[in-house]
Each structure stands twice: as C-alpha cells, then as structure tokens.
C-alpha cells in the first residue's frame, strides 16, 4: 500500500502531493514561501514608515482613542492600511505554500490534518485582516463610530490568534522540507534489511485496511458479516525466511499479577511439565511474563562472545528447568524483593523515583518559563493594555466570541434541516456543516483563551510578585509530586503502614476501604496542587517579565534575556533527550533482571545460578527468544495504546501487542519479524527489543495510560514521570516506508522521514494529553493486563484446540472477574464462544451444600474456601472462511484459590495472611514465606489441571504420561 494516494483527501491531495514530492519543486516552494513573506513585510514597512502605532490602532477598540493616536503621532496611516492589503496577500501565499508542503510530505494523518488546518487558519486570518482594514479606513477617513473600532479590534485579535500558530506550522514544514532535501547518507539502520531473504515480503497490514482484507474473504454474506472477527484473527503467515503463526493443538497461558502470579506460575508449570513439553505456544502476561521469560532465558546456551577465560557451561534443559531444588529457582526465591531489599537498594529505588519527578517537574517549569516569557513579550509587542486589564476583557474579544455563535447556529440549523436528506449532495453538505461547527468552536476557544484566559492568569500571577516564586514553587512541586506518586503507586502497602501507626496511637480500626479512600484523596490532592501550581507559576512569569527591577533584585548578575536563554537552552537539551530512559522503565527492567534473568551453569564442577551480565549481554528477542527444543514458543502479551474510536471502543483505547522471537506487532498495527525490526531501528531503540525488556514492558502495570484499567492516578504518574512502559517502533509505519521503497525501485525517497533516533519530548507530551496516533513512527506499549490479563484471548487468536490457563490474577475471592472479562472479550473480538462447566466452583464460599464438620484450621478459612481450583470449558471457533473453519476445543483453567484439598502448609500460611492468595499487585516485595506459599499452591493447582487434562479427550496424535 502506498501513501501517495489518499482516499480521505481525494484527487486534489494526490495531484498536489505528486507535484511537491519532486525535490526541485519542493525546495523552490520552501525557499519562495519565506521570500514572499519577507518582501511583503518590507513593502509594508516602507509605506508604513512614520506610523509606529499601527498595532495599537488595530487593538484600540475606540474611535476616540484612534483619533488621539493619529493626532499625537502624525503619519501615513491610510497609505499603511492600503499597503497592508499587499502584506495580506504575501503572508497568505507564504502560509498556504508552507502548509501545503506539510500537507503533501507528511507521513501521518495527524500531521496532514494539522497542515490543512494551518492553511485554513491563514486564509481566515487574511479575511479578518481585510475586514479590520476596511473598518479602520472608515474610522480614519470618515470618522466612524466606536462600533467600527470595536469590530476592527475583534477582527485584529482573531487575526493574530489564528495567524501565529498557522505561521509556525508553515515555518516548521518549510524547515523540515529543506532538512530532508539536503544530501544525506542513509544510515544502515534506516534501510530495510535485505540480509535475510524474504524480508522484502514482510507481512504487515496497514491501519484501516479492513476493506483490503475483505477481498481475501469468501464472497458469502456470512464472511462479510464476520469481517471484524477475521481481521482480529490476522496472524503472520509463513514466509520464505520466517515461519508463520499457524493454528496449533496445545497452548498455555499464564496470567498477570506481578511477582504473585510469577511465583504461582513457576509452581504450576513445574507440575505441568508433560504438557509444557508438547505445547506450541506459551503466552504470558505481566507477572506471567516474569515466569515465561525466566524459563526462556534459563534454557539459553552460552554464545561464544559470552565465554569468560575460566569458561562455563549452561546445563538446564526443559525436563528440569526451574524445577524444585534447582539453582535458578533458589536464586529467584532469594530475590523475591527484587525492587529493593536492603537500605542501599531502597535508597536507589527512592532516588530513581525522585529523579523522574525532578526531570518531569523541571521540564514543566522550564516550559512555563519559556512559554511565559514568550507570551509576555508577544502581548507587549501587540498591546500592553491586553495584560493590564484582565476583566472585563477587550470589548472586541467579547463581541467576537458572541458573533461566532451566529455561524455555529447557522451550521447547526443547516445540519438539522438536511438530516433527513439522503442524497449525496446533502450528505456532503451535512459533513461540511459539521466541520464548520467544529472550526467555529475551536476558533472561539482560541480567542477566549488568548483574550480572556491568559490576561486573567497574568493578573492572578501578579499576586505572586516575589522573584523567588519560581524556584521555591518548583521545589514545592517536586516534593508534592514525589510524595503523592509514592502513595499512589504503592497504595495498599504504604497506606497500611500509615494506618497501622494510627491504630496503635488511637486504637482506631481502619479498614481497607478507608485506606483506599485516603490514597485516592492523596492522588487527587497531589494532581490538583501540581496543576494549580504550574498555572500560578505561568501567570507569575508573564506578570514579572519585563520588570528589570525584579530580575536585578533577585539575580543581579543576570539579565532578562540571559534568564530566557538559559531556560530555553535547558529546555532544548531535555527536548532532544530520550524520555523513556528518564522514566522508571530502565530501573524496573534492570531490577527485574536481577531475579528473573539467570542460567544454570556448571563451573569447575559446581552447579550454580549465574545472572546475565545486564550491561554486556543484550538478550535480543530474535536470538534469546527463539524456540527451544521440547519447549513452546514464548509470546509476551502487551497492550499498545491508540487514540480515537477507529480501532478501539470507548474506555479501552488499547489493542493487543505481542513480542516474541519470531514477530513483534499486532493484528491491528501489523507484524514485523523481530530480526528485521531490530536491524531497521536506531541503536537506542534496540534496548527495548530484548527478552528482559519484554518482561518489563509486559509487566508495566503503572503507566501513564492503563487501557481498560484507566484511573485518575495515571495523570499523576505522567506529570511526575513515575511511569513504566516504553515507546516501540510501529510496524505499520515501517511497512508503509517499505511500500514507498518498493515504489522507488529500491531507492529511499528524499521526502521520506527517518525513524526517530530516540523518544523525544513529544512522546512524553503525548502521554500527558493522551494522544496516541496509530500511524505514527512509535507506539506506546504497556502491561498486557491493560488489554486482557489472562493471555487467553491471544491463544484463541491462534485457534489452539487445547488450552491450559493458569490464572494467578488477584480477583476478589467471591468472583472470577478476570476470567469473565476474557470470555466476553473473546466473543467481541474473535467470535469465539466459551461454555464453562460450573464456574462458580472457583469462587470462595462455594464449597458445596454438604460439608463435613471442619477442623479448627478449615474453620478459620471456611469463608475463603472454594469448591475446586480447576474447571473445564468448551471452545467453539466461528466459521471465518475456508482457511478458518468452525472448530471445537477444550479449555482447562487452574486458578489460585484455596480449597479443602490445598496443602496444609498453604492453608496454615493463609490463616495469618487475610489477603492470601489475592495479595495486591502493587505489593512486589515477597519474603520466603510468601514465595513458598504461592509456589506450593501453584504446584498443587498444576497437578489438579494435569489430572483434569488426562480425564478429558485429548487431540489426536498426542498423549500425556
């Protein structure tokens, strides 16, 4: 698929795009646009010589004031207004030409839409300028009344509000065009890899290509009706160089839940080793990814570059990897507190959080300082009166906002009138009316913010006239953000300690509900303080900028321009730095590797667990996540965030994303082989295409966006930089670049943008505002639990006929909510129906109507016991065509619950731990007692699942011992 043609923008876009994608034409337009604007400006300055107060006249808003200005400063005002018409023509040509470059050469829909809006804003600003000049001519030549002066004021203010952002967009497009048109040497990582034959036929599917996929479906109405299910079932087919993701017999999925689920899954998979050796896929989510990644890394043999002078040998195999008593299991058990164990590690962890808060708040403060000073100088160049009289606002601004209601109402009435008309012309006109309404509302908001909001903010900031407001306020924001983030991230553990002290002091009984409420109040309070504090700082900077006495009194060795230059330089350094490396993701990835990235090695006759050298051994997916003999392919399930409702329903905003040794991607965003993806991206981005990074990303529970688990704390995490997850290359973007490369006969088109070398400040800004375009170069990927926390839907996407689900999620004891969500999602997205056999047996308090008298131990746990830890389900796959016929399968679910058959030592542990086996995922600190209890429970549940699988019909050709 090529991006040369765009059905959304029609024939005009295709013609303009084809013309401007000629390097010579594009460079000529890029040079001509600022040249025309400069000529128009110098022409205007020549005829406006001696009239230094034209802007003041435009924003005067009073005929008497205009006459006083003309009387005080005689000049050629009428000639200047006539010359302004030539200036209008010049800046319209420059803005439209510059924005047309962005419209034609942009590679994403958002950039094209922004360029199109800039063209429209430039034209509307020119119309406002013409109306303003006509009104001023009437006032100057004929002594018009105040009404014309007020109209001129409103039109002039609207002109500036629309023209300045449009000019910025056009200027950026011009600079970008000249930058791409320069002679450049294509970096090796920028060109698609051809070392592996078959990479020229990468299986990728562009966003919104559902119509193309329908062409491959049966022509029956049934196939068309189920097109959405078929689209979501799309997996990479077999290629010459890469095996596909074909449907297979057995699949295992392990759920999310942090170290709780990881420990439980290690025990369950140990008991399920006969099934594990015959399974084709092992899908892991979050904490399940810790477990699956640990098993995968423990099975890796040493590469030649990893051998040390003394030499060692990896000796683990699928028959005994992470088995009871193994060196690697003992290592993980000893590192249950992987985040922080001793005082030194606690200081490092708290320091990592503090570093993120300082960087985030520092970035926001620098943005406030630079933006505030620019706004202050901008308003001062227009008219100082705008900031001196915040209320009531300029009469022209009020009237403009009111007058904008007229076209809005006309467009609304027109849409209502045409609502019942189904003709093509009526439909187009109705869409045009809808666009007019949106643009009018946007213009009114811009005028209101610029004419009322900013002056009012500056007036409010004038209360904080102290020059120490910015540094002291910044320190206060750092402290508040750090404390509120710590409370928000570790809600239950932190609040438990706080309320334990209160209970000892006052003898009060405080439950978990009160702790949750207090944590939520702390999060909201912290978020509110940060937002209000930043707004007050912005108002203070605007109000104090230009007051030389303020700067010299605070910092006598600095001047105003030096303060602005230092802030702008610091902001520039932060803007070009990699934002992911300043988040908690690198720290989390490193700490996670200390517990779940080891190998069993024999050295000098002794067997021991040796950790991977984190700094020197990069566990790349295509090398370290390949298929091992007698072991399933490990697939890390994550969640990719996308904006809007084109790809996701409201409230979810995520699509599935998987990382494995063969492919990385999604059925919605496309797939790319892991090796090819690794070769085509810059070195810095390759750090997140490793097994250790996949473990961390799949378990990135606390992120700036949480998909279906979205909560208010996510905004706080973004503001304070206490966030996990990473930005990864978008297969759809790379696939479209490949399409352009094929159309260019192997040569990279000059206008084609390169992959970003790092995650710039714009990625953090997107997290802050919640904007995740599906066609951008990078996509934000977080915890797979934000999409589906069992991994069951991903195995159903692979149409496995026998699925074993290990559920260690922390559901409430009385309902298997995670399982219910997975069953519902499976039908919504894939059309797969699952019939569960007595799911209520997994819920606590359902041991059955007839129970023997419990002993003392079971009596204490009577309300927490379930009837069984294993249930059976029947899977029915829909008929999606000849290649995806209707099939049936079996599902066996083993859940972390307590039953009468649970081992005694686990029940004894549960009596002293009311939350077991549903400890909070936020609690990632496991001592040996909790590790042993969950691991033992996992082995018990695994044995129960194995027994249930032996008693059920098994796929032909396979058997279990």
Query: What's the pLDDT score for residue 212?
Result: 39
433-445: average pLDDT: 85
Strands 802-807 and 887-895, bridge-based pairing? parallel
Query: What's the pLDDT score for residue 508?
Result: 39
Query: What's the pLDDT score for residue 79?
Result: 78
Backbone angles phi, psi at 803, to 5 degrees: -120, 135
Buried b (16+ CB within 10 A) or exposed e, 748-766: bebbbbebbbbbbbebbeb
**What is the pTM for the complete model shown?**
0.86
Backbone angles phi, psi at 559, to 5 degrees: -110, 170
Q: Is the Cβ–Cβ distance between 373 and 544 less than 8 Å? A: no
Q: Is the Cβ–Cβ distance between 738 and 755 less than 8 Å? A: no
198-247: pLDDT as tens digits: 344 444 444 333 333 333 444 444 444 567 888 888 888 765 556 677 77
Query: What's the pLDDT score for residue 216?
Result: 43
Higher pLDDT, 681 or 191: 681
User: Which residues have C-beta within 8 Å of that of residue 178, sequence separation ≥ 6?
Assistant: 27, 30, 31
Higher pLDDT, 483 or 890: 890
Buried b (16+ CB within 10 A) or exposed e, 309-321: eeebebebeeeeb
Q: Which residue has the tokens 């797969």?
A: 832
β partners of residue 891: 803, 873
Q: Is the Cβ–Cβ distance between 787 and 639 less than 8 Å? A: yes
Query: What's the pLDDT score for residue 92?
Result: 93
Question: pLDDT-based confidence at 3, cuts 50/70/90?
Answer: very low
Spatial distance between the Cα atoms of 70 and 57, rounded to a whole number of angstroms: 9
Spatial distance between the Cα atoms of 544 and 410, rounded to a whole number of angstroms: 43
The DSSP-derived string for 276-329 is: HHH-SEEEEETHHHHHHHHHHHHTPPPPGGG--TT--EE---TTTTT-TT-HHH
Residue 281 reports pLDDT greater than 80: yes
Spatial distance between the Cα atoms of 705 and 712, rounded to a whole number of angstroms: 10
Question: pLDDT-based confidence at 711, cuts 50/70/90?
Answer: low
Backbone angles phi, psi at 470, to 5 degrees: -65, -55
Q: Is the Cβ–Cβ distance between 470 and 551 less than 8 Å? A: no
163-194: pLDDT as tens digits: 999 999 999 999 999 988 887 665 555 555 44
Name which of 587, 632, 636, 634 is nearest 256 in CA terms: 636
Q: What distance lies between CA 703 and its chain's CA centroid?
A: 9
Spatial distance between the Cα atoms of 276 and 199, rounded to a whole number of angstroms: 31
114-169: pLDDT as tens digits: 999 999 999 999 999 999 888 888 888 776 677 888 888 888 888 988 999 999 99
Query: What's the pLDDT score for residue 513?
Result: 46
Say what percent of the chain tops pLDDT 70: 78
Question: pLDDT-based confidence at 400, cuts 50/70/90?
Answer: confident
Query: What's the pLDDT score for residue 222?
Result: 46
Torsion of CA 405, 409, 415, 420, to 10 degrees: 160
Residue 958 reports pLDDT greater than 90: no
> 703: helix, coil or strand?
strand
Higher pLDDT, 848 or 730: 730
N residues, the chain: 961
* Mean pLDDT score of the chain: 78
Query: What's the pLDDT score for residue 648?
Result: 78
Spatial distance between the Cα atoms of 192 and 677, rounded to a whole number of angstroms: 9
Spatial distance between the Cα atoms of 894 and 77, rounded to a whole number of angstroms: 85
480-521: pLDDT as tens digits: 766 776 666 654 443 344 334 333 343 333 344 444 566 667
Query: What's the pLDDT score for residue 893?
Result: 92
Residue 826, burial from CB neighbour count under 10 angstroms (0-12, 13-18, 19+): buried
Query: What's the pLDDT score for residue 501?
Result: 39
CA torsion sign, 243 to 245 to 247 to 249? Answer: positive
- The tokens describing 822, both together, are 């997975």
Query: What's the pLDDT score for residue 498?
Result: 38
Helical pair 713-720 and 761-769, crossing angle rounded to 10 deg: 160
> Residue 38, Cβ neighbours under 10 Å: how many?
12
- The tokens describing 510, both together, are 């405080």
50-67: average pLDDT: 76
Higher pLDDT, 849 or 477: 477
Residue 528 reports pLDDT greater than 60: yes
> Residue 275, Cβ neighbours under 10 Å: how many?
22
Q: What distance lies between CA 774 and its chain's CA centroid?
A: 10
Spatial distance between the Cα atoms of 398 and 452, rounded to a whole number of angstroms: 9
5-46: pLDDT as tens digits: 454 556 666 777 778 888 888 899 999 999 999 998 888 877
780-835: pLDDT as tens digits: 999 888 899 999 999 999 999 889 999 988 777 667 788 888 999 999 989 999 99
Q: Where are the beta strands (DSSP E) in 319-456?
A: none
CA distances from 753 to 179, 187, 398 (A): 10, 12, 43
Residue 718 reports pLDDT greater than 70: yes
71-120: pLDDT as tens digits: 776 667 777 788 888 889 999 999 999 999 988 888 888 888 899 999 99
User: Which residues have C-beta within 8 Å of that of residue 552, sequence separation ≥ 6?
Assistant: none
CA torsion sign, 739 to 743 to 747 to 751? Answer: negative
Name which of 721, 660, 671 is nearest 693 in CA terms: 660
Residue 896 CA neighbour count, 13 Å, CB half:
35
Strands 833-836 and 870-877, bridge-based pairing? antiparallel
542-587: pLDDT as tens digits: 877 765 444 444 455 556 667 777 777 887 888 788 888 888 888 8
User: Picking from 328-332, 779-783, 912-916, which range would have the lowest pLDDT averaged per residue?
Assistant: 912-916
Spatial distance between the Cα atoms of 288 and 790, rounded to a whole number of angstroms: 9
Query: What's the pLDDT score for residue 939?
Result: 94
250-278: pLDDT as tens digits: 899 999 888 899 999 999 999 999 888 88
Query: What's the pLDDT score for residue 175?
Result: 92
User: Which residues have C-beta within 8 Å of that of residue 105, sequence separation ≥ 6?
Assistant: 17, 20, 21, 26, 173, 176, 177, 180, 751
Higher pLDDT, 777 or 468: 777
Say what percent of the chain tops pLDDT 90: 19
Query: What's the pLDDT score for residue 93?
Result: 93
Residue 195 reports pLDDT greater than 50: no
Query: What's the pLDDT score for residue 506?
Result: 38
Buried b (16+ CB within 10 A) or exposed e, 589-623: bbbbbbbbbbbbbeeeeeebbbbbeeeebbbbbbb
Q: Is the Cβ–Cβ distance between 318 and 279 less than 8 Å? A: no
Helical pair 287-298 and 691-698, crossing angle rounded to 10 deg: 170
Q: Is the Cβ–Cβ distance between 895 and 842 less than 8 Å? A: yes
Q: Is the Cβ–Cβ distance between 285 and 787 less than 8 Å? A: no
């Amino acid at each position: 698929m090529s991006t040369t043609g765009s059905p959304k923008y029609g024939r005009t876009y295709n013609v303009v795009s084809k013309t401007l994608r000629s390097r010579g034409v594009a460079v000529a337009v890029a040079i001509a646009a600022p040249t025309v604007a400069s000529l128009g400006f110098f022409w205007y300055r020549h005829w406006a010589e001696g009239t230094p107060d034209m802007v003041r006249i435009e924003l005067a808003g009073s005929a008497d004031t205009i006459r006083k200005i003309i009387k005080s400063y005689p000049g050629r005002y009428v000639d200047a207004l006539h010359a302004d018409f030539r200036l209008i023509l010049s800046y319209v040509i420059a803005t439209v030409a510059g924005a047309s470059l962005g419209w034609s050469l942009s590679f994403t829909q958002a950039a094209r839409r922004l360029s199109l809006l800039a063209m429209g804003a430039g034209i509307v600003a020119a119309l406002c300028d013409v109306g303003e000049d006509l009104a001023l001519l009437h006032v100057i030549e004929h002594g018009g009344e105040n009404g014309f002066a007020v109209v001129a004021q409103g039109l002039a203010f609207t002109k500036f509000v629309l023209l300045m952002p449009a000019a910025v967009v056009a200027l950026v497009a011009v600079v970008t065009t000249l930058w791409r048109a320069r002679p450049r040497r294509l970096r090796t990582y920028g060109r698609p890899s051809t070392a592996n034959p078959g990479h020229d036929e990468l299986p990728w599917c562009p966003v919104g290509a559902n119509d193309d996929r329908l062409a491959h479906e049966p022509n029956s109405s049934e196939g068309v009706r189920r097109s959405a299910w078929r689209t979501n079932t799309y997996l990479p087919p077999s290629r010459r160089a890469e095996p596909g993701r074909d449907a297979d017999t057995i699949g295992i999925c392990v759920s999310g839940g942090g170290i709780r689920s990881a420990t439980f899954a290690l025990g369950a998979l140990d008991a399920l080793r006969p099934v594990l050796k015959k399974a084709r896929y092992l899908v892991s989510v979050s904490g399940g990814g810790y477990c699956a990644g640990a098993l995968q890394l423990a099975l890796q043999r040493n590469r030649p570059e990893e051998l040390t002078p003394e030499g060692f040998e990896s000796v683990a195999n699928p028959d005994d990897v992470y088995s009871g008593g193994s060196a690697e299991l003992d290592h993980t058990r000893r590192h249950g507190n992987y985040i922080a164990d001793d005082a030194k590690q606690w200081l490092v962890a708290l320091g990592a959080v503090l570093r993120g808060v300082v960087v985030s708040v520092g970035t926001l403060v620098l943005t406030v300082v630079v933006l505030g000073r620019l706004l202050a100088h901008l308003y001062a160049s227009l008219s100082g009166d705008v900031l001196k009289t915040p209320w009531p606002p300029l009469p022209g601004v009020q009237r403009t906002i009111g007058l904008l209601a007229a076209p809005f109402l006309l467009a609304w009435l027109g849409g209502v009138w045409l609502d019942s008309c189904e003709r093509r012309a009526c439909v187009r006109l109705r869409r045009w009316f809808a666009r007019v309404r949106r643009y009018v509302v946007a213009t009114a908001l811009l005028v209101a913010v610029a004419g009322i909001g900013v002056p009012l903010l500056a007036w409010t900031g004038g209360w904080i006239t102290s020059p120490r407001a910015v540094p002291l306020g910044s320190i206060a924001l750092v402290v508040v953000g750090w404390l509120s983030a710590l409370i928000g991230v570790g809600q239950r553990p932190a609040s438990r300690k706080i309320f334990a002290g209160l209970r000892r002091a006052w003898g009060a009984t405080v439950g978990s509900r009160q702790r949750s409420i207090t944590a939520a109040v702390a999060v909201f309070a912290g978020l509110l303080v940060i937002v209000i504090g930043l707004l007050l700082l912005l108002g203070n900077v605007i109000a104090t900028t230009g007051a030389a006495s303020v700067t010299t009194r605070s910092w006598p060795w600095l001047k105003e321009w030096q303060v602005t230059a230092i802030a702008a330089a610091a902001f520039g350094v932060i803007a070009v730095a990699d934002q992911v490396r300043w988040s908690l993701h690198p720290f989390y990835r490193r700490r996670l590797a200390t517990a779940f990235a080891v190998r069993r090695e024999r050295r000098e006759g002794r067997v021991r667990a040796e950790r991977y050298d984190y700094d020197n051994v990069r566990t790349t997916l295509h090398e370290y996540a390949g298929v091992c003999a007698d072991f399933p392919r490990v697939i890390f399930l994550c969640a990719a965030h996308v904006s809007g409702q084109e790809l996701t329903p409201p409230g979810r905003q995520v699509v599935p994303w998987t990382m494995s040794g063969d492919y990385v991607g999604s059925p919605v965003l496309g797939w790319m082989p892991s090796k090819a993806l690794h070769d085509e991206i810059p070195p810095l981005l390759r750090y997140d295409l490793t097994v250790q990074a996949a473990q961390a990303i799949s378990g990135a529970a606390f992120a700036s966006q949480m998909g279906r688990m979205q909560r208010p704390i996510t905004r706080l995490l973004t503001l304070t930089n206490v966030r996990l997850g990473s930005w990864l290359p978008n297969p759809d973007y790379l696939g479209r670049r490949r399409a352009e490369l094929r159309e260019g006969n192997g040569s990279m088109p000059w206008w084609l943008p390169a992959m970003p070398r790092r995650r710039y400040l714009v990625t953090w800004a997107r997290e802050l505002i919640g904007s995740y375009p599906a066609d951008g170069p990078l996509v934000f990927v977080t915890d797979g639990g934000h999409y589906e926390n069992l991994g069951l839907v991903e195995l159903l996407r692979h149409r496995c006929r026998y699925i074993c689900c290990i559920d260690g999620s922390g559901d409430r004891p009385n309902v298997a909510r995670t399982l219910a969500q997975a069953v519902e999602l499976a039908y919504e997205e894939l059309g797969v129906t699952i019939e569960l056999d007595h799911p209520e047996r997994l819920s606590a308090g359902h041991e059955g109507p007839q129970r023997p008298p419990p002993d003392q131990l079971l009596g204490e746990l009577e309300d927490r016991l379930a009837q069984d830890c294993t249930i059976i389900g029947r899977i029915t796959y829909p008929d999606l065509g000849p290649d995806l016929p209707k099939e049936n399968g079996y599902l066996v679910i083993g859940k972390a619950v307590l039953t009468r058959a649970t081992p005694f030592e686990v029940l004894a542990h549960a009596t002293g731990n009311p939350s077991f086996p549903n400890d909070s995922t936020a609690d990632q600190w496991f001592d040996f007692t909790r590790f042993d209890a969950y691991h033992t429970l996992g082995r018990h549940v695994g044995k129960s699942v194995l027994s249930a699988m032996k008693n059920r019909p098994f796929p032909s050709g396979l058997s279990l011992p």
